[in-house]
Amino acid sequence: MRTSKRTPPRDSALLRDAAAIAAAMIAVGGSFGAIAVAYGLPLWVPFAMSTLVFAGGAQFLAAGLLAAGNPVAAVLAGLLLNARHLPFGMAVASTIGPRWRDRLLGSHLMTDETVAFTLREEDPGRRRRTYWMIGLTLFTSWNIGTALGVLIGTAAGDPDVLGLDAAFPAGLIALILPSLQDRATRAAALTGAGLAVVLTPVLPAGLPVLCALLGLLVLFLPRFAGVQGGSDS
């Protein structure tokens, strides 16, 4: 374990992190493929979803609803769950840059993990490299995983046995931890997270996470006056 002072991770460290997340993505993509097949959906469905939708949570949710014969609910629930990509897009827009080719291609690579890895970096050049490398790695590994899952079928069904359901939240926390050093960000994030958990039992999937944005309102409290993301604690 590294206990020395935090230094910006080098490219080799980024590669190693990318490999770790890719391995996890192959496993989860595998369970998605297997589950879709187990639901009795046609074989092309998981492939089409992993390439065209490319958003894990929405895919699991939509596959379940499609299998239940409710395509309208599948689309609405999936879109609701993915609405967070709009604020994500605004946060990484400057990293993706002004070129149309980059914007059109880069937008499709936008996921929770891509955004989290990118915002961890300070330097604009590193952010850019991180965004593309993590984005392409995730897209590739997710689709490889899906294909393996379809091939193996139900054998790889339950990601919980491997504890993968704990791996993703832990990974996200590790990625946002540096941002949480900022007092105002921490207050907003913790308030938002609390709100989302409380609302999860009562609101449809996707909405509680969006409601977390209300956590940003704490920045209007007198103690954060003028901070709004500025100075460190």
Partner 1 sequence: MTLLVAILVLGAGTYTMRLSGVLLRDRLELSEPVQRLLPMAATTLLAALATTAALMESAAFAGLARPLGVLVGAVLAARRAPFVVVVVAAAATAALLRLAGVQ
Q: Which of 151, 137, 112 has the alpha carbon at shortest distance from 30?
A: 151
Smallest distance, partner 1 to C-beta of residue 126, A: 15
149 within 8 A of 47, measured Cβ to Cβ: no
- C-alpha–C-alpha distance, residues 46 and 155, integer Å: 16
Nearer residue to partner 1 within complex by CB, 16 or 223:
16
Nearer residue to partner 1 within complex by CB, 37 or 210:
210
Smallest distance, partner 1 to C-beta of residue 2, A: 5
53 within 8 A of 59, measured Cβ to Cβ: yes
Nearer residue to partner 1 within complex by CB, 44 or 155:
44
91 within 8 A of 63, measured Cβ to Cβ: no
Nearer residue to partner 1 within complex by CB, 34 or 59:
59
Nearer residue to partner 1 within complex by CB, 154 or 173:
173
- C-alpha–C-alpha distance, residues 212 and 197, integer Å: 9
Instruction: Count CA atoms closer than 13 A to 164's CA, side-chain side.
Output: 20
Q: Which of 104, 107, 109, 65 has the alpha carbon at shortest distance from 206?
A: 65
Nearer residue to partner 1 within complex by CB, 34 or 187:
187
Structure tokens at 191: 């308030």
What would you measure as the largest C-alpha separation in the chain, in angstroms?
A: 57
